[in-house]
Structure 1
């Protein structure tokens, strides 16, 4: 595995939600230090072309546009999943309140809608997880502000019938938590990490960070906690989890007890319940949390997130209660970077990487290779919006 691309200039976002559809990655919402998250405004959508590494911003809906009634407000701590050409955004909050309305973004028309749902709708929350198994979106955990407690409930939305169901499970469920990660492998939903509390569902500031991996077999609605072997990652929250060839990968995150950010990479193999700490080639991203990771083909695209403040080059998050920084005492910086991890880099990719790393002369190379080198080394500028032609 090789970290091949590192570009700046994309959307500076933290605690956003992103999902891949085809060769494009769609990133929804999130926050950035200095912005106002008390007033409601339309959610921003940024699109990454994974062929040329260029970001574009979809124009925001104007208040007098009839479609504005179906556009989610800007938020953080929400989830996004894809089903066909459509992306479903659920949950999350701004600084005033959480939300439990389902929104649908059509990647063909670039338009929002509010699908009519029925059944037992989950309570508004943020910091939950979501993944798609068969025809349903499964929701687990999060923090429900209305009842002021962590959750460990499971809800499922049938994306064909738009019916919500509360799933009555068997076995021992994961502890109450938020900002964990859920990964779908076959018919199983794997849960790892997250922030809990020694008092169970109640938030007392006595945090717990589990490093167990637990899965729900959705065919039987039964929880299982397998005995694992290998190099087990430390407990954490606000990390990224992604699936590649039926294995689950964990990157980054934060442990509040140790006040520690991570930039390590672990692989969990469900077939053997074995953990492996992965050693990658190339320059890996710095320690961070609340970034996004999306798999496209044999590559992982990582972007955004927040880290301990290391220098004057990026905005610093102030220590005040108005920002959604979980009461951290340390100063943080928000990222606008993009990193690409290639699972099986081709010989051509490795050669291009040598040209970049050694700053070799490239004028003699064929035009298509020079174009690839330019795409891999030119920082982004997303000030020009993507035209909405739908």
Structure 2
């Protein structure tokens, strides 16, 4: 596995939500230090062409009249899932309130709608997780706005009927938490990491980071906590999790008790219930949290997130997940993108040599020169207004 591409100048975003449709990555909203999250404004949408590594910012719709109800406001801590050629955004918040309205983005027409749903709608929250299993979007955990507590509940929305249901489960569920990850492998939803509290559902600033992995069998409705072996990752929140060839991978994240950011990569085998620390080649991304990682074919695209400035003072345990500060913030918001290739070709490895040693590419065929150009040319759409980093 080789980190092959590192480009700057993409969307500078933290706690955004992104999904893959075809060969494109769609990223929605997120946070950037210095921007106004009290005022309602339409969520921004950025699209990455994974063939040429170019970002595009879609035009913002007019935010008034009937569209006020069908376009989500700018937010962070929300989730996005792709079902067929549509993307569904749920949850999240700005600095004023959280949301529990379902929004749909059509990747063909590039238009927003607000689908009509039935059933018991989950309470507004952020920091939850979402994944799709058998035509249903499963929601787990998060921090619920109106009752001011962490959740350990499961809700499901059936896209065939657009009906919500509360999922009654058996067995001991994962502890109350937010900013964990949920990954679908077959009919199982795997939960890892997140920030909990020693007082259960209540946020008393006595944080707890559970290192155990658990899964919900969505057919039987039973929670399982498998006995695992190997190099178990440190408990963390705001990491990334992705699935490739039936393995679950976990990258980065943050542990507030130790005030540590990570850039390690762990792989979990559901068949053997075994963890291993993956050694990669190339230059790894800086330690960070609240980034996005998505798999397209044999590549992982990582972008955004936040890291501490070199020499920054440690965070205080119990600090909010978002450090809403000015230019002197101890965290820097990233606009970079990294590509991890699971099985780089000989062609790609040769291009890496050309880049690393700064060899003269003028004698190369035009197709190779084009590949070198897109691998080394930064994007230029970073939102820099009052943003740090």
Conserved? CA contact 1:33–1:323, under 8 Å: no
Distance 1:68 1:148 in 2: 27
Q: Which residue of 1 aligns with 2:115?
A: 115
Q: Which residue of 1 aligns with 2:283?
A: 283
Q: Which residue of 2 aligns with 1:125?
A: 125
SS in 2 for 1:257: coil
Q: Which residue of 1 aligns with 2:99?
A: 99
SS in 1 for 2:375: helix
Q: Which residue of 1 aligns with 2:370?
A: 371
Q: Which residue of 2 aligns with 1:387?
A: none
Conserved? CA contact 1:61–1:68, under 8 Å: no
Shift, 1:64, TM fit: 4.4
Q: Which residue of 1 aligns with 2:331?
A: 332
Distance 2:21 2:100 in 1: 24
- Gap regions ≥5 residues in structure 2: 384-389
Distance 2:377 2:211 in 1: 38
Q: Which residue of 2 aligns with 1:90?
A: 90
SS in 1 for 2:372: helix
Shift, 1:381, TM fit: 1.4
Conserved? CA contact 2:192–2:214, under 8 Å: yes
Conserved? CA contact 1:57–1:383, under 8 Å: no
TM-score by length of 1: 0.94
Shift, 1:68, TM fit: 4.1
Runs of 4+ in 1 over 6 A off after TM superposition: none
Shift, 1:160, TM fit: 1.1
Change (3 A) 1:192 1:12: same
SS in 2 for 1:93: coil
Conserved? CA contact 1:132–1:138, under 8 Å: yes
How is 1:288-327 mapped onto 2 (pairs within 5 angstroms)? 288-310=288-310, 324-325=322-323
Q: Which residue of 2 aligns with 1:24?
A: 24
| Cα displacement string for residues 7-39 of structure 1 (whole angstroms, at most 9, x for unaligned residues) | 000000000000011110000000101000001
Superposed CA RMSD: 1.9
TM-score by length of 2: 0.94
SS in 1 for 2:378: coil
| Cα displacement string for residues 216-257 of structure 1 (whole angstroms, at most 9, x for unaligned residues) | 000011000000000000000000000001110000000000
| Cα displacement string for residues 60-105 of structure 1 (whole angstroms, at most 9, x for unaligned residues) | 0113474343110000000000011000000000000000000000
Aligned length: 376
Distance 2:321 2:32 in 1: 9
Shift, 1:325, TM fit: 2.0
Distance 1:370 1:305 in 2: 31
